[in-house]
Amino acid sequence: RARRRLVTASERARAAHRFVTQAERAHLLRPGRRIAVYQPFGHEADVSALTRRAWRRHCIVYAPVVTHRRRFAMHFVPLFANARLVVNAFGIGEPPHAPNERIPILHLDVIFMPLVAFDARGWRLGSGAGFYDRCLRHLRGARRWRRPQLIGVAYEHQRVEALTPDTWDVPMDGVLTERRLYRFVAHS
Phi and psi of 174, rounded to 5°? -170, 170
Strands 117-118 vs 110-113: parallel, antiparallel or unpaired: unpaired
Q: Report the predicted TM-score, pTM, of the whole model to 2 decimal places.
A: 0.90
- Alpha carbons within 13 A on the beta-carbon side of 46: 16
Instruction: Give helix then strand counts, H and E, for the chain.
Output: 4, 11
Alpha-carbon distance 93 to 89, whole Å?
A: 10
Q: Is residue 152 within a helix (H) or strand (E), and if so which, with residue range?
A: strand 149-153
Local confidence pLDDT in tens for the 188 residues of the chain: 667 777 778 898 999 999 999 999 999 999 999 999 999 888 899 999 999 999 999 999 999 998 876 676 789 999 999 889 999 888 899 998 877 889 999 999 999 999 999 999 999 998 767 788 888 877 766 555 457 999 999 999 999 999 998 888 888 999 999 999 999 976 54
Between the CA atoms of 58, 99, 114 and 11, what dihedral angle is there, to the nearest 10 degrees? 60
